[in-house]
């Protein structure tokens, strides 16, 4: 049985660093010195935008400055999301094997199904897939996901609203009205729901345990908890942090990854 490392590794006060680590893990795996990993983490107060998005179109930057919110761009596509300590983020980095689908729709379903099953096991019996990459409870969104198949690594990550401040989210995110209407809503608050609204008081640790149980079944693997990243992974994360994720050219001006890769990877 294959082994997968599980790690709860975070610097909640520094979303730039958390996102640097998020890229460092699959990059290290592709370079031969990383490990298959499921990572969990939280950000204290941040908006994370997709690779193809412009911050000024997706975020109320005046509110972000007022609320001291960090705006960070990730290396995968998809839409903008708000993170606080009531939000659980997970990221999976695996080598490609025959059990991982190549079709993009099936690829998403492969990773999303265990999350749905985890939510159901916790009591959210109406949890389901929403479109390609959303997690819904009935008609409202409880989580979003994105994926990458770069560098020879199957990468998948997402976020779950457990007890997030949805009013702050609504102040910060500025999705097009048409996008909300397509989902049957006119305001962000109508579109999303916290898991705690459905289940009552629930601890993040309970959600993590449920996800781990379901991923062990899906990946046919033994998942082992570790305390830290390797020295090489940490070194790579520091480079990504210094040259890319704290750089306004990356976060606000949509410079491509290749612009930074030359400095970081040579």
Domains and CATH numbers, the chain: 2-265 (3.30.930.10)
Q: Are 95 and 154 in contact (CB under 8 A)?
A: yes
- The CA R_g of the chain, rounded to the nearest whole Å, is 18
Residue labelled with tokens 């998942």: 223
Q: What is the dihedral of CA 82, 111, 140, 202, to 10 degrees?
A: -70
Model-wide pTM > 0.75: yes
| Separation CA 221–CA 226 (nearest Å) | 15
Non-local (6+) Cβ contacts of 148 within 8 A are 26, 75, 76, 155, 156
Report the pLDDT value the prediction gives residue 36, as an integer from 0 to 100.
Answer: 97
Strands 87-95 and 134-137: unpaired
| Separation CA 239–CA 203 (nearest Å) | 34
Q: How far is it between the farthest Cα atoms of the chain?
A: 51
Segment 154-177, tens digit of pLDDT: 999 999 999 999 999 999 999 765
Segment 43-102, tens digit of pLDDT: 999 999 999 999 999 999 999 999 999 999 999 999 999 999 999 999 999 999 999 999
Report the pLDDT value the prediction gives residue 139, as an integer from 0 to 100.
Answer: 87
Average pLDDT, the chain: 93
Strands 81-84 and 45-49: antiparallel
Would you state the structure tokens that stand for residue 215, as one six-digit string? 């991923």
How much of the chain, in percent, has pLDDT values that exceed 70? Answer: 94
Q: Sheet containing 127-130: which strands, arranged edge to edge?
A: 127-130, 134-137, 140-148, 153-161, 87-95, 37-41, 2-8, 221-225
Q: H-type helices in 122-183, by residue range?
A: 166-172, 177-182
| Separation CA 87–CA 41 (nearest Å) | 9
| Separation CA 116–CA 179 (nearest Å) | 23
Q: Are 191 and 180 in contact (CB under 8 A)?
A: yes
């Amino acid at each position: 049985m294959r082994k997968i490392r599980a790690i709860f590794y975070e610097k909640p006060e520094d979303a730039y660093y958390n996102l640097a680590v998020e890229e460092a893990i699959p990059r290290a795996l592709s370079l031969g010195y990383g490990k298959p990993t499921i990572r969990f983490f939280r950000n204290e107060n941040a908006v994370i935008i997709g690779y193809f998005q412009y911050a000024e179109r997706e975020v109320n930057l005046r509110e972000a400055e007022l609320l001291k919110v960090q705006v960070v761009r990730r290396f995968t596509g998809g839409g903008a999301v708000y993170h606080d300590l009531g939000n659980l983020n997970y990221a999976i980095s695996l080598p490609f094997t025959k059990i991982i689908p190549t079709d993009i729709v099936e690829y998403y379903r492969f990773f999303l199904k265990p999350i749905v099953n985890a939510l159901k096991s916790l009591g959210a019996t109406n949890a389901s897939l929403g479109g390609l990459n959303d997690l819904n409870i009935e008609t409202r969104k409880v989580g979003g996901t994105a994926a990458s198949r770069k560098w020879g690594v199957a990468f998948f990550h997402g976020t779950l609203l457990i007890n997030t401040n949805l009013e702050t989210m609504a102040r910060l995110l500025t999705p097009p009205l048409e996008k909300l209407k397509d989902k049957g809503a006119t305001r962000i608050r109508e579109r999303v729901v916290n898991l705690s609204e459905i289940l009552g008081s629930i601890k993040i640790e309970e959600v993590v345990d449920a996800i781990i149980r379901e991923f062990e079944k899906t990946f046919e693997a033994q998942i082992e908890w570790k305390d830290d990243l390797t020295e090489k992974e940490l070194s790579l994360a520091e480079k990504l942090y210094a040259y890319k994720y704290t750089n306004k050219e990356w976060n606000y001006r949509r410079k491509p990854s290749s612009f930074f890769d030359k400095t970081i990877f040579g």
